Amino acid sequence: MASSLVVTCPECGSYNSARASVCRQCGAVLKAERAQRPRMQKKLLRRTDFLAAARANQANTRRLVLILVAVACVLGYLIGWNIQIYAQAPAHTYGQPAPGDWSPWFFSAWGAIGAAILAGVSLVWTFVAFKAGDRIVMRMTGARQVGPDEAPMLNNVVEEMAIAAGLAKPKVYIIDTPALNAFATGMSPGRASIAVTQGLLDTLNREELQGVIGHEMGHVVNWDIRYATAVTVLVGLIALVSDGVLRSFYYGGGRRRDSRGGGVVAILLLVFAVLAPLVAKLVQMAISRQREFLADATSVRLTRNAQGLISALEKLETSAQPFDGANRATQHLFIVNPFRNFSEKASALMATHPPLSRRIERLRNLGAKGY
């Protein structure tokens, strides 16, 4: 993409046309001098248009998932090509005429097989994750399911938000930790689960809890939970394969015989194996950050009350309790980043969550609209 046609949003990292003054994804100001004009001020108030944001969100996610699959395919192709050269197999093995016939030079039958295998594996893996993903995540975070007898208020609040969204009531889980956090998972709006920590239940009042549950219900309504699972699986697969490639270079590097440009291809693979997990990670972060703003907005649409979520986020901001139940694979599921120190020091590009101050500011903006 040419840099003159496209600008990157400083807040959420999504691409915008160079003429746009407001990010189409998250509504952030792209041109500071234009934000001063009165017409722009009105536009900024209107910027949380739920339906348009949800549509852009879905389209963007589909594009990003495609990018991830493409990265996996290229990785598979390079691996196959390398194995072919390493094994000194003829360039065209399946019914091709002469072994010396390299046309075009970059075609490799083994590479095509490698790409197909990795694409197939990512599909199967995604399918498995769609079937069992919520249970795996719940076990990873150590959450236990609670019924209406054990936690009546939490169950009531979840049911209220489900009614407001017009969905079936999700399953309710509690994580026994003093940290303040919450997340949603599940494969479809009809079969979702919402988990909150014990610390959150003890600290927040009913109104604030409603804001937080509304945020999680927003992830459910917007199908974020499913895309998050798919993205997690793809990022994990790319990281795993790249790691394997780098290890094989480390251990098998000395035995490499150089023939017919094999060195160039090997370097190509090496570079790609280093870059692919980075690209995948960036894609994952971008998806995650866009969704947090949208879920906040959906929460306000469901509760018609921005104040509850604002004061909940303020309490989450001041709480310093670390949460051990989260790891790198599940961190983007939570309402606030469980690795507090990491998110504050890392650059905006690598964070899974937008800064809390930005989110609170957005909610205040929504409140000014009369919600």
Partner 1 sequence: MDTGAWIILALIVIFILFMIAMYNRLVALRNQVKNAWRQIDVQLKRRHDLIPNLVEVVKDYMSYEQETLRQVIEARNSAVKAQGPADTIAAEGVLSGALGKLFALMENYPDLKANQNVANLMEELSSTENKIAFARQFYNDSVMSLNNAVQSFPSNMVANMFRFTEATYFEVPQAETAVPKVNLR
Active-site residue numbers?
Answer: 216
Contacts with partner 1: how many residues (CB under 8 A)? 13
Cβ atoms < 10 Å from Cβ of 24: 17
Q: In terms of CB distance, is 104 or 166 closer to partner 1?
A: 166
Report, in Å, the least distance between residue 156 CB and partner 1.
Answer: 4
Q: In terms of CB distance, is 22 or 161 closer to partner 1?
A: 161
SS3 at position 235: helix
The answer to whether 146 and 155 have CB atoms below 8 angstroms apart is yes
Find the binding residues for partner 1 in span 285-324 (CB under 8 A).
Answer: 302, 304
Tokens representing 355 are: 């800064």
Report, in Å, the least distance between residue 337 CB and partner 1.
Answer: 29
Report, in Å, the least distance between residue 223 CB and partner 1.
Answer: 18
First vs last Cα of the chain: how many Å apart?
39
Question: Taking the CA of residue 307 as centre, how many other CA atoms within 13 Å lie in the half-sphere pointing to its CB?
Answer: 5
Q: In terms of CB distance, is 155 or 321 closer to partner 1?
A: 155
Tokens representing 39 are: 């017409």
SS3 at position 249: helix
The reply to whether 166 sits near partner 1 by the rule CB under 8 A is yes
Q: In terms of CB distance, is 147 or 152 closer to partner 1?
A: 152
The reply to whether 267 sits near partner 1 by the rule CB under 8 A is no
Stretch 145-164: interaction string toward partner 1, x if CB under 8 A: -------xx--xx-xxx-xx
Q: In terms of CB distance, is 159 or 317 closer to partner 1?
A: 159
The answer to whether 81 and 114 have CB atoms below 8 angstroms apart is yes
The Cα 297–Cα 215 span in angstroms is 8
Q: Considering just the CA atoms, what is the radius of gyration of the chain in Å? A: 24
Report, in Å, the least distance between residue 152 CB and partner 1.
Answer: 6
Q: In terms of CB distance, is 157 or 228 closer to partner 1?
A: 157
Report, in Å, the least distance between residue 299 CB and partner 1.
Answer: 13
The Cα 45–Cα 42 span in angstroms is 5
Tokens representing 75 are: 């990785």
Report, in Å, the least distance between residue 54 CB and partner 1.
Answer: 15
The Cα 35–Cα 210 span in angstroms is 33
| DSSP annotation of 185 | E
Stretch 113-152: interaction string toward partner 1, x if CB under 8 A: ---------------------------------------x
The reply to whether 207 sits near partner 1 by the rule CB under 8 A is no
The answer to whether 53 and 290 have CB atoms below 8 angstroms apart is no
Stretch 32-71: interaction string toward partner 1, x if CB under 8 A: ----------------------------------------
Tell me how far CA of residue 36 lies from CA of 42, 43, 87, in angstroms.
11, 11, 64
Q: 178 preceded by cis ω (within 30°)?
A: no
Find the binding residues for partner 1 in span 91-110 (CB under 8 A).
Answer: none
The Cα 327–Cα 318 span in angstroms is 22
Q: What residues line the site for partner 1 (CB under 8 A)?
A: 152-153, 156-157, 159-161, 163-166, 302, 304
